[in-house]
Amino acid sequence: MSQAARIIIADTPLRWQDVVAVARAYAVLELSDQAWLRIDNAHAIVKRIVSSGERAYGVNTGLGALCNVSLAGEELGQLSRNTLLSHACGVGPALADEQTRAIICAAIINYSQGKSGLHPQVVQGLLALLNHQITPQVPSQGSVGYLTHMAHVGVALLGIGTVSYRGQIVPAQQALAAEGLRPVVLGAKDGLCLVNGTPCMTGLSCLALADAYRLLQWADVVGAMSFEALRGQIDAFDAEVIALKRHPGMQRVASNLRGLLDGSEVIASSKGIRTQDALSIRSIPQVHGASRDQVEHAARQIETELNGATDNPLLLGTPEHYRVVSQANPHGQSVALAADMLAIAMAEIGSVAERRLDRLINPHVSGLPAFLVSNPGVNSGMMIVQYVAASLCGQNRQLAQPTVLDNFVTSGLQEDHLSMGTNAALKLQPLLANVAHILAIEYLLAAQAFEFFPEQHFGAGTHSAWRLLRQVVPAYDQDRWLAPDIAAATALLQDPGLLQQTFRDLH
């Protein structure tokens, strides 16, 4: 997507793909007139509350366990500023720019619902950060659901802290000045709105969905190559048989496999050489399909949250007839559970891939030269890359442990059940990176196995995948430095344009 692309927030729900376009492809984010009117209406309610003196949590009271402390006048703007300063206490390495941009995008979508009440200039400031490519440096650790990450974004609006700008890390004030922007002056409820809600876990999860969907497609491609190299029995993917178990993901995967393997002389000549294959080979539709279905479910949960109003309190009605409702919409349980399930589903993709690739190098079951090298003994061949895949699977078992089951008590017993959704979303990035490496290793091994079938034609899709890899990784004739080969294969798996261009018929 080019930098000229635009995402406009209006009256229709946004997709996770929209967040990814803003975060990764630098699409320009804009608000429609209707969205600005909604924001103006909610801010007018805040002004009415302040002028009336009615007590409303977060508007003219302290926060959390200090909710019974009343404030007035200049204290309201000071409360907002102090909220950002005191909450900006994250630790650890900074998020990647795309992660912070995804969080800001999700926050703006939240505010566009018109139920928050923050000043329109605050939303304009956040839009300016995105569209001028000024990205706050946000420590990655310290959130039990929300608060710290958005606080670090918020202080950048004040000209405090550091930002990524034009390839360098510079003071926020310097970057704002370079773009002709002024620090934002906060008013009542602005600070609370900036740290509240679920944009952090939601934005991060949108990025994870993009990676997961891409890897699911590659898993079918690479799995088909392994199936072919191991001379699998194609009856396991028979359309009539697969239709007897109607999970949608299973149907799509089996269709992909049949298409990828269409025309394979290797498969045709291998029919009947064994009664059935090992489960990791014949269950590709069932295993990959189950993960696809769970990712689809996670996407629905994440998109629902993305288009919700997740502040506390929420402002309903008009300045003449309004309600201020304290509730728990910032609780991110839905996203936390979705992120945990996404982690489990994708860890399984890596797990079954590791089992397949292990069979490729094992001469006891593969029917191929030991460790896929013509002269084993003096050459170790592809022996140790399986160790690497096993290590990554081990890490993924740890990363896939449910985060939502953790619970702690914060804010003097006021917040005594926490989703831990941001932690759940954050661990998706290393888990998915591990899956990409595991699939890249399987890709290398399956392509190397193809070298031992010189006289036979491969399937339409598997042949394309083999030739694609050979453009960047030569065949393995004798031992060589393998780390660059894994990196090159991983780079292919990370290019969504290449995937769609090469395998147009993939579902």
Domains along the chain with CATH numbers:
6-196 (1.10.275.10), 205-502 (1.20.200.10)
Look at residue 61 in the predicted model and tell me its pLDDT.
Answer: 82
Look at residue 2 in the predicted model and tell me its pLDDT.
Answer: 45
3-state secondary structure of 159: coil
Sign of CA dihedral 108, 112, 116, 117: positive
Distance from C-alpha of 445 to C-alpha of 453, rounded to nearest angstrom: 14
Distance from C-alpha of 340 to C-alpha of 403, rounded to nearest angstrom: 7
Could you tell me if 386 and 452 are in contact, meaning their C-beta atoms sit under 8 angstroms apart? Answer: no
Neighbours of 452 (CB within 10 A): 13
Type of residue at 430: P
Look at residue 297 in the predicted model and tell me its pLDDT.
Answer: 98
What residues are labeled active site? Answer: 57
List CB contacts of 185: < 8 A, sequence separation 6 or more.
77, 121
Type of residue at 383: M
In this structure, what token pair is assigned to residue 474? 């030569």
Sign of CA dihedral 116, 58, 44, 195: negative
The β-bridge relationship of strands 168-171 and 322-325 is unpaired
Confidence (pTM): 0.95
Write out 457-492 in H/E/C secondary structure.
CCCHHHHHHHHHHHCCCCCCCCCCCCHHHHHHHHHH
Neighbours of 261 (CB within 10 A): 23
Strand partners, 170: 163
DSSP 117: -
Look at residue 389 in the predicted model and tell me its pLDDT.
Answer: 98
In this structure, what token pair is assigned to residue 122? 């605050």
Look at residue 412 in the predicted model and tell me its pLDDT.
Answer: 65
List CB contacts of 269: < 8 A, sequence separation 6 or more.
456
Residue 236, CB-side half-sphere exposure with 13 Å CA sphere: 26
Distance from C-alpha of 203 to C-alpha of 99, rounded to nearest angstrom: 7
Rounded to the nearest 10°, the torsion over CA 151, 157, 160, 163 is: 90
pLDDT tens over the chain, length 507 residues: 445 699 999 999 999 999 999 999 999 999 999 999 999 999 999 999 998 888 888 788 877 667 777 888 888 889 999 999 999 999 999 999 999 999 999 999 999 999 999 999 999 999 999 999 999 999 999 888 788 999 999 999 999 999 999 999 999 999 999 999 999 999 999 999 999 999 999 999 999 999 999 999 999 999 999 999 999 999 999 999 999 999 999 999 999 999 999 999 999 999 999 999 999 999 999 999 999 999 999 999 999 999 999 999 999 999 999 999 989 999 999 999 999 999 999 999 999 999 999 999 999 999 999 989 887 777 888 899 999 999 999 999 999 999 988 877 776 666 777 788 999 999 999 999 999 999 999 999 999 999 999 888 999 999 999 999 999 999 998 899 999 999 999 999 999 999 989 998 888
List CB contacts of 496: < 8 A, sequence separation 6 or more.
210, 214
Look at residue 65 in the predicted model and tell me its pLDDT.
Answer: 67
Distance from C-alpha of 83 to C-alpha of 88, rounded to nearest angstrom: 8
Which residue, among 204, 95, 195, 202, has the nearest Cα to 151 in the 3D structure? 195
End-to-end CA distance of the chain: 21
3-state secondary structure of 423: helix
